[in-house]
Amino acid sequence: MKTHVFFVDKNVDDLNTYPHILQAASYLQRGELVAFPTETVYGLGANAMSTTAVENIFVAKGRPSDNPLIVHIATKEQLHDIACDIPPVAHTLMEHFWPGPLTLILPKKEAVSPRVTAGLNTVAVRMPNHPIALALIQASGLPIAAPSANRSGRPSPTTAKHVLDDLDGRIAAIVDGGATGVGVESTVIDCTTAIPTILRPGGVTKEDIEQVIGVVDIDRALVEKGAVPKSPGMKYTHYAPKAPLIVVNGSSTFLQQLVNEKRANGLRVGVLTTEERRHTYEADVVIPCGRRNDLRTVAQHLYDVLRAFDETNVDIIYSESFPNEGMGVAIMNRLLKAAGHEQVMEK
């Protein structure tokens, strides 16, 4: 299969009638796979109502079958095709955060393919805040199931090149709309529980949500080692670069000592740091990932940096850790998953 790449400027005045958008939408209508940009990462889209189309996502990604997919919509009218018994708290969250990087878990309608929901009686839905994504969904006339457009386990794609690197020849088309913005996936919150529960931290923080609806719970698996996650997909290792990654909880001096020990044994060592500390470390490869004084920039560049290490032939990567609050919760969640939860604590 040849993967077609359509270059689309997100600033085009009328994206809804733009030829490349209409062509990509026709692929989706035929049950084929199309990667497209959102404000978080690139998604790999298929018709959420077609089990055959959705099955192609799992094949292309090598994705475990018990890992549910998020359905993307462009209008609230589409929501009523896939969800029912929508609680008031969900409507409040939509009013404040849609379109945007917040996914709501809601009771599903039977029309949604069971492959989307992994057999659960709920469906994950969001409305992306990206003009190309919204135009493509509207042009297709379909709700679009779309996980990240990468091979399963790899860092999520924030550019069309990342998608092509992982999925060239496996999917029908990529809509190249430039680099994404937020950089980490959407926050997932279960609205079917008595107290809404965050299942995955992401582009909307716990603090952001609590300002709108009051106290929310956090899935125990996000804070307790060994706890079984409520969301099936959260149990898998994700985002991993090719070299082993270890998260370091400690001072810059401690991290440098770890680097020195590995280099003394003949290994090439990489360090993931921030702009403020990029000249602090002596290692074979040092890559800054945003600014520590603005953690949203760290989130924005995280996956790009993890992929950049793959081009360096390092044997091991040490990463600084980040405050476990605000956007730092999502960053640490992704880093620890990329590291297979390998971390070192300074004594």
17 is in an annotated binding site: no
Range 206-211 average pLDDT: 97
30 is in an annotated binding site: no
278 is in an annotated binding site: no
Range 244-252 average pLDDT: 97
Task: Looking at the structure, give the CATH architecture of the domain made up of residues 245-345.
Answer: 3-Layer(aba) Sandwich (3.40)
126 is in an annotated binding site: yes
26 is in an annotated binding site: no
Domain residue spans in the chain? 4-183, 245-345
pLDDT in tens, 330-343: 999 999 999 999 99
180 is in an annotated binding site: no
CATH topology of domain 4-183: DHBP synthase (3.90.870)
200 is in an annotated binding site: yes
What does DSSP say about strands 197-200 and 187-190: parallel, antiparallel, or unpaired?
antiparallel
Residue 178: pLDDT over 80:
yes
Q: Kindly report the pTM of this predicted structure.
A: 0.93
**Residue 237 pLDDT level (bands cut at 50, 70, 90):** low
**Residue 229 pLDDT level (bands cut at 50, 70, 90):** low
Order of strands, sheet of 197-200, starting from the edge strand that comes earlier in the sequence: 4-7, 173-176, 34-37, 42-47, 144-145, 70-72, 122-126, 102-107, 187-190, 197-200, 217-218
> What whole-number percentage of the chain has pLDDT above 90?
88
**In angstroms, rounded to a whole number, what is the distance separating the alpha carbons of residues 157 and 136?**
19
**Residue 285 pLDDT level (bands cut at 50, 70, 90):** very high
What pLDDT is stored for residue 347 in this prediction? 87
**In angstroms, rounded to a whole number, what is the distance separating the alpha carbons of residues 270 and 266?**
13
Calculate the average pLDDT of the chain.
Answer: 94
Please, are residues 317 and 339 in contact by the beta-carbon 8 Å criterion? no
244 vs 223: which has the higher pLDDT:
244
146 is in an annotated binding site: yes
Residue 103: pLDDT over 90:
yes
